[in-house]
Amino acid sequence: MLKLDKLFRSWKTFALKDISLEIKKAEYFVLLGPCGAGKTLLLNCIAGIHWPDSGRIFINGQEVTYLFPEKRKIGYLFQKNLLFPHLSIKENIYYGLKYHQIDEDYIKQIFKLLDINELFLRRDTSNLSGGEAQKVSLARCLVIKPSLLLLDEPLHSLDPASRENVLMILRSLNKKMGLTLLHVTHDLEEAKHLADGAAVLIDGTIGQRGTLEDILNHPVNLEVRQFLGNKYGY
């Protein structure tokens, strides 16, 4: 589904260096790493917000390295809530569909899975809870039928109840709908609930790639061990 081939991208004094990674169709892949490791910059390159200095990006076998974001058929859930305050909930959700055909049956399926039918009837986005706003943001990502969903710390700012609810929704998107997800986080417990495959990004490079269990039990170098921390006996 996603292949990164020797991706390099400099940003001020930082750089993503020689990033090569493959994610299978319908895989829930979690990219772990400390703050400042380059996780969001990598997502931005995949989404087309930034273009790499060198290397290539493939989605479904098609090279998309220099395609504009709207041509990549990717959903991107940002860390911060980026709902448009001047638009209604419905207008926010349907915003991306100006570039895509509307599939009403599919949209009904999404609304049911996200449990947002009642939210959809409300107009104002200003009084949404964190969990509600994240659901609306997810709906906006999903209505375009993305081949790949990128998630940047999607549970970071949620209260415990909303966090658990959104976590279950994300897993359902993968298991019930077969959606491929690339989820960025520094939270190991979050990854344990979600990850099929995983990698650790350290200072702009892939420090380790494999199953989460293998990474936790057999860290390959000091940098990965330091990221995992004392919680796992290192």
Pairwise CA distance, residues 223 & 106, whole Å: 44
pLDDT on residue 213: 92
pLDDT on residue 232: 55
The set of residues, in sequence order, having a beta carbon less than 8 Å from that of 54 and lying 6+ positions away, is 6, 7, 8
Q: Which domains does the chain have, with CATH numbers?
A: 2-78+146-232 (3.40.50.300)
pLDDT on residue 120: 73
pLDDT on residue 150: 97
pLDDT on residue 158: 87
pLDDT on residue 202: 95
Q: Which residues of the chain have pLDDT under 70?
A: 99, 230-234
In one-letter notation, the amino acid at residue 56 is R
160-175 helix and 104-114 helix, angle to the nearest 10 degrees: 140
